[in-house]
């Protein structure tokens, strides 16, 4: 289906990087705008017409040629027409607001789809503040611009045409003469395209910097206070804020300050109307007018000039929207509907053969990694600081590149798509990556399941129960309301909740004591009965109980059981003995 699909009530735009694609799903709303806009804007000509009728009727009453009843009939007719026109105006405005909201919702949904599928290299080029500005301010600017273009087809096109037809009926020569100045306002608006574009690009970039600086202040407020650097950060923040205010004023200046100028230019033709229209009333002009016609012509031209000046301002609004569109367009990509990952699929054997691991654009951090693991095994992965543990673990979720071969029951890992990987591999990263939500939601991620058994497995049940609202307690931004150990165990509980046939756990015990570490490991041992677990850790106290150990050193790796590595790899033995000595010292 061209234009849109639906998934759980959400519209999926087929070509999100094309503006017209967002109009295709809105046919019903556009029809309502067309109906309301046409009747309203054509009906707006009734105002000048009836104003002239009322003025003429009042003059006739004074001269004794009409009665109060005549005046009342004209007034009642005017009010009836006015009521209908305003009803159409309400329909147009409601539909216009609905259209803008639909644009905003659909664009944000597609933008979010693009953001979550950005590659590591693309993410490096975008700061969080810049992405926030694009997802909020730029989308709003685009949605508003698209809505304005749509409604202005009627508010400007139909209305200007209606006013012009009305003026031409009364005096076509005077109409042409009085409208000579209006194209000048449009020419000025178009000539401002470059400065408007330039200052709005600068304004949006500065807004991104300000958002990034604000996030930095919020996330690191304690650090700045502890080290007494708040004044320095205040100075830095003030500098960016001043730059933002300056560019914001300049941006709004082009959008608003020119409106009175456009209005003055468009109203220049009133001088011709006063002079030549007066001659028409006196009977010495191009046509014969009465007071009512003169009043109608002046009123109609005034409204025409006001609308023409507003439409000139619209050019500058569209230019600002174009800046925002060019900023967010690269983030849009085709939405691919993939089936949900299947739970319960089993992998019997994991085989890693001569694998080299590298971050995109960099030289390999590991080479020649080889080992095999089977269902029911826990494989420990360790090494000195910065030995490549995390890089190796991220290979299984596609965050790092690899050469060589990693097969799951003979199927090459790189041949699996993201959904197939999600159905087979669970990953707990070195960072907990908790959301600003409840304990329960951070574990379940929307899944319908009880959390008590999961919290018990990671030995967090009592601590969560002691929280103000139990599992419904909010953890704060990034889990800041929790200790490091609690964050890690919630992340581990989440991984267990969404357990797959292969589980990659990066430092799950980094912030817990040895007693808790052992209890959790016993739970993992039971969990590993029907799956393969890769446990990445710098703590080796449990490595004697691993089914195999991958020791990373000197840019490569050695695989074997714990006792074998103690004999064959002095660096592994030294690392283990130092930790054991330190652990014995801690226990005294």
pLDDT over threshold 80, residue 582: no
What share of the chain has pLDDT > 90, as a percent?
20
Label residue 557 by pLDDT band (50, 70, 90): very high
Position 351 confidence tier, pLDDT thresholds 50, 70, 90: very high
d(CA 406, CA 414): 8
Q: What is the DSSP letter of 438?
A: B
Q: Could you give the dihedral angle defined by the CA atoms of residues 50, 51, 55 and 57, in that order, rounded to the nearest 10 degrees? A: 20
Burial track 151-184 (b if 16+ CB lie within 10 A, e otherwise):
bbbbbbebbbebbbebbeebbeebbebbbebbee
pLDDT of residue 52: 77
Phi, psi of 497 (to 5 degrees): -60, -40
Hey, what are 215's tokens?
Answer: 């996030």
Q: Is the pLDDT of residue 127 over 80?
A: no
All residues at 6 or more sequence positions from 294 whose CB lies less than 8 Å from its CB, including other chains: 52, 277, 278, 280, 281
Q: How confident is the model at residue 227 (pLDDT cuts 50, 70, 90)?
A: confident
- What's residue 535's pLDDT? 95
pLDDT at 403: 95
Top pLDDT among 432 and 314 is at 432
Q: How far is CA 433 from CA 68, 102, 212, 220, 519, in A?
A: 78, 31, 19, 16, 23
On average, the pLDDT of the chain sits at 84
Mean pLDDT within 105-122: 79
Which of 130-134, 163-167, 202-206, 503-507 has maximum average pLDDT? 503-507
Cβ atoms within 10 Å of 450's Cβ, excluding its own: 10
- Select from 181, 150, 159 the least CA-distant residue to 317: 150
| Residue whose structure tokens are 């992405």 | 131
DSSP state of 342: P
Angle at 105 between CA 99 and CA 107, to 5 degrees: 100
502 phi and psi angles, rounded to 5 deg: -120, 130
Q: Is it the case that residue 141 has pLDDT exceeding 60?
A: yes
Q: Which domains does the chain have, with CATH numbers?
A: 15-331 (1.20.1560.10), 349-587 (3.40.50.300)
Find the length of the chain.
588
Neighbours of 217 (CB within 10 A): 15
What is the mean pLDDT of the segment spanning 269-292?
A: 86
- CA–CA dist 24, 221 (Å, integer): 46
Average pLDDT over residues 476-491: 85
- The most confident of 15-24, 44-53, 217-226, by mean pLDDT: 15-24
Residue pLDDT, tens place only, 355-398: 999 988 789 999 999 999 999 999 999 999 889 999 999 999 88
Which range of 149-163, 336-350, 411-425 scores highest in mean pLDDT? It is: 411-425
């Amino acid at each position: 289906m061209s234009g849109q699909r639906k998934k759980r009530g959400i519209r999926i735009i087929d070509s999100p990087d094309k503006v017209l694609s967002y109009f295709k799903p809105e046919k019903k709303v556009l029809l309502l705008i067309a109906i309301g806009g046409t009747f309203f804007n054509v009906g707006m000509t009734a105002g000048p017409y009836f104003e002239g009728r009322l003025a003429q009727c009042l003059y006739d009453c004074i001269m004794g040629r009409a009665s109060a009843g005549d005046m009342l009939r004209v007034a009642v007719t005017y009010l009836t027409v006015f009521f209908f026109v305003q009803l159409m105006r309400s329909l147009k405005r409601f539909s216009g607001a609905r259209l803008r909201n639909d644009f905003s919702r659909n664009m944000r949904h597609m933008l979010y789809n693009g953001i979550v599928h950005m590659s590591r290299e693309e993410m490096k080029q975008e700061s969080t503040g810049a992405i926030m500005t694009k997802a909020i301010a730029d989308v709003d600017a685009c949605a508003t611009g698209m809505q304005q273009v749509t409604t202005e087809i009627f508010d400007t096109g139909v209305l200007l045409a209606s006013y012009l037809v009305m003026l031409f009926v009364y005096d076509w020569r005077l109409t042409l003469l009085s409208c000579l100045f209006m194209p000048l306002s449009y020419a000025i608006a178009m000539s401002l395209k470059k400065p408007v574009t330039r200052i709005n690009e600068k304004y949006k970039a500065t807004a991104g910097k300000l958002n990034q600086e604000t996030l930095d202040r919020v996330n690191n407020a304690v650090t700045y206070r502890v080290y007494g650097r708040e004044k320095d950060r205040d100075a830095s923040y003030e500098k960016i804020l001043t730059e933002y205010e300056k560019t914001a004023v300049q941006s709004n200046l082009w959008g608003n300050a020119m409106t009175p100028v456009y209005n003055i230019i468009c109203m220049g033709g009133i001088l011709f109307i006063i002079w030549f229209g007066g001659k028409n009333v006196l009977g010495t002009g191009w046509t014969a007018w009465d007071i009512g016609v003169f009043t109608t012509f002046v009123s109609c031209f005034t409204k025409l000039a006001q609308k023409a000046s507003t439409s000139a301002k619209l050019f500058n609004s569209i230019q600002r929207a174009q800046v925002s569109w060019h900023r967010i367009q690269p983030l849009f990509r085709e939405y691919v509907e993939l089936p949900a990952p299947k739970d319960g699929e089993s992998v019997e054997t994991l085989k890693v053969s001569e694998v080299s691991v590298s971050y995109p654009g960099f030289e390999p951090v590991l080479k020649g990694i080889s080992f095999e693991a089977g269902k029911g095994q826990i494989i420990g992965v360790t090494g000195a600081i910065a030995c490549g543990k995390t890089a190796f673990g991220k290979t299984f979720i596609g965050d790092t590149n690899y050469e060589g071969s990693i097969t799951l029951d003979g199927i090459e890992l790189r041949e699996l798509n993201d959904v197939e990987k999600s159905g087979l591999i669970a990953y707990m990263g070195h960072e907990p990556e908790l959301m600003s939500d409840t304990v329960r939601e951070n574990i379940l991620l929307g899944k319908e399941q009880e959390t008590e058994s999961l919290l018990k497995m990671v030995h967090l049940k009592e601590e969560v129960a002691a929280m103000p609202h139990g599992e419904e307690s909010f953890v704060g931004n990034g889990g800041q309301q929790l200790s490091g150990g609690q964050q890690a165990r919630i992340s581990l509980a989440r991984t267990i909740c969404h357990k797959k046939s292969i589980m990659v756990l990066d430092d799950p015990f980094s912030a817990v004591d040895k007693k808790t570490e052992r209890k959790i490991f016993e739970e993992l041992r039971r969990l590993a009965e029907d799956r393969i677990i890769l446990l990445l850790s710098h703590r080796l106290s449990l490595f004697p109980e691993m089914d195999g150990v991958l020791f990373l050193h000197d840019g490569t790796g050695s695989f074997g059981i714990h006792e074998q590595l103690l004999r064959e790899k002095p660096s592994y033995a030294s690392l283990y003995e130092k930790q054991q000595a330190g652990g014995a010292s801690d226990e005294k």
